[in-house]
Amino acid sequence: METEKVVPTEQELKGFDLNDPAVIELIHHAQAGDEADRLLTIRQAFGKYKKAVFWALFLSTSLIMEGYDLVIINSFFGQTQFQNRFGIFDPEQGHNVITPSWQSGLSNSALVGQLCGLVINAYAQDRFGCRPTMMVFMAWMAVAIFIPFFAPSLGVLAFGEVMCGISWGVFQTLSTVYACEVVPTILRPYVTAYVCMCWGAGILLSSGVVRAVAGLQGDFGWRLPFALQWIWPVPLLIGAYLAPESPWNSVRRGKIDEARRSLMRLRQDTPDKETEVNASLAYIRHTTALEQAETANSSFIECFQGTNLRRTEINCVVWAAQILCGNAILGYSVVFLESAGFTELQAFDVNISLSACYIIGGIICCLLFPHLGRSTIYMGGLTFMFFCLIAIGGLGFAQGKNSEMAVGILLVISTLCNMITVGPACYPIVAETPSGRLRYKTIVIGRFVYNLTGIFSNSVTPRMISPIAWNWGAKTGFFYAGTNLLCNIWCWFRLPETKDRTFGEIDLLFDHKIHARKFKYTKVDQFAHQSHYEAKAAAAEHFEG
């Protein structure tokens, strides 16, 4: 394929005085930092950035709580103790059930809280930094857990979910952005995919807990899983206090010395450590200056103007497709399996297998990242899940144990596929596509759309599955096969490939409106102005001579 080449425009260079020796020195160091970043192998990067990887993984652990609570609530809808405490008697079922309206209300309560948390985080990170924001909302989380634990009614439980959801909304974007900003380019897909694995670890943990308390009697069967959430806030708050700040965040807030200290802490001790830190800091300042020429105000409005509108669109659709690909069914797997004919304990057992796929799939995806692009992995997963959903929907017309078993097997296969492809690949895409100055806000908007999509899904999916509502059962697979196909068509035309691209290169590709299908093949020289300066200096020297 014919390749293009893009270089910075005059508009992007307006903040650079190429006659200023300090600016030229900054560009020299930035170019050295960029070249050093490109030469790193995965093994070398892990060796040099062990501390950075540790802190990225540690702070991402906060998302275990969100994944944990997500499945806890949805699993309770099929739990006998929870049904006896809060449900209404259904003569056809012969026992108490949680109505579809309350299923939607409880699932959506946390999402409403997350919407608030996302907006708060967009301003808090830009103004105060990652660490202080994380610490404040870890403390908030520790207090908010008291509400669902002591909830006497579904209304109070829903309010508690809203309060807890505010913290989860903060952690959703904070962990992803922090992880991608503290490590070099080659490690970005791994640490951001780990964010997804943490979410899956929470789901696996909650599935095991719900299965373990299935034999307990009374309210303790549903209160104990809530109480276990108190394990996380205190150690994570302490960890956030000890962690270095994101150097990119520090530079954007004008705290250059803080950024240098963070870079020193994030690298292993080597003889040329200080030189490398200066080069990395220069690259961050150089890239931020280029971005500032395009997004000087760094407001939410800027996310919908110029080339940033395209970046925001990508974030929104890639996030929304996480649910519309068919993953929505997996969130209601216990109720879904019971409606397909499984017993309560059988449904819980299969749910544990489904949850384990999040961990296994994340590990497999990490093995694919060096060989396949993000968009290739993402679209391949959507395609495979489409056929699984068609098969699940078709089995909705069959009866008997064999069809029930087939539905369970297909759910496991579909979940594993999702967590090898769509789930982990989403995180590096949404972390890499925004501009640096608008990264928090763009991801917040995308995650906001994700949560709105979740509210829609939580409103219709229980009704599709529930025997006392629409009673589609396994036929629900057809609906999400349709939404999956629409997402995949969009990806073909609009999703660019960002594999092995630095933040500066991605900025230039978007600024020059390179088509999504050409992202992979286009050459980028973000230091073309350096060559311009060197030619100018050589001409002056020749004239003087």
Residue 337: its pLDDT value, please?
67
pLDDT (tens, 9 = 90+) of the chain, 545 residues, equals: 445 555 455 444 455 444 555 555 556 656 665 666 666 778 888 888 888 888 888 888 888 877 787 667 777 777 778 888 887 877 776 777 778 778 878 878 888 888 888 888 878 887 888 889 999 999 999 999 999 888 888 889 889 989 988 988 888 778 878 888 888 878 888 887 887 788 778 877 877 787 787 777 777 778 888 888 888 888 989 988 999 998 888 888 888 889 888 888 888 877 777 877 877 888 778 777 766 655 555 678 888 888 889 999 999 999 999 989 987 776 666 666 666 667 767 777 777 777 777 788 888 888 888 888 889 999 999 999 999 999 988 888 887 777 777 877 787 788 788 888 998 888 889 888 888 778 878 888 998 898 889 888 878 887 887 766 777 877 888 999 999 999 999 999 999 998 888 877 888 888 888 888 888 888 877 666 554 444 444 444 433 44
Q: What is the rounded CA–CA span in Å between residue 118 and residue 390?
A: 34
Residue 379: its pLDDT value, please?
94
Residue 33: its pLDDT value, please?
59
DSSP for 18-45, please give it: TT-HHHHHHHHHHHHHHHHHHH--HHHH
Contacts for 74 with CB less than 8 Å, ≥ 6 apart = 103, 107, 331, 332, 333, 334, 335
DSSP state of 342: -
Residue 271: its pLDDT value, please?
78
Q: What is the rounded CA–CA span in Å between residue 361 and residue 408?
A: 18
Residue 459 CB neighbours (<10 A):
16
Residue 12: its pLDDT value, please?
47
Residue 99 CB neighbours (<10 A):
18
DSSP state of 325: T
Residue 456: its pLDDT value, please?
87
Looking at domain 5-544, its CATH class is mainly alpha
Residue 300 CB neighbours (<10 A):
16
Q: What is the rounded CA–CA span in Å between residue 494 and residue 336?
A: 33
Contacts for 378 with CB less than 8 Å, ≥ 6 apart = 318, 421, 422, 425, 426, 429, 491, 495
Q: What is the rounded CA–CA span in Å between residue 73 and residue 80?
A: 13
* pTM passes above 0.85: no
Residue 101 corresponds to which tokens in the numbers above? 């309206």
Beta strand 88-90 with 95-97 is: antiparallel
The pair phi, psi for residue 96, each rounded to 5°, is -70, 145
Residue 405: its pLDDT value, please?
75
Cα–Cα distances in angstroms (integers) from residue 405 to residues 346, 474, 508, in the given order: 11, 12, 51
516: nearest Cα among 489, 478, 482? 489
Residue 450 CB neighbours (<10 A):
27
Q: What is the rounded CA–CA span in Å between residue 47 and residue 462?
A: 48
Q: Domain residues of the chain, as ranges?
A: 5-544
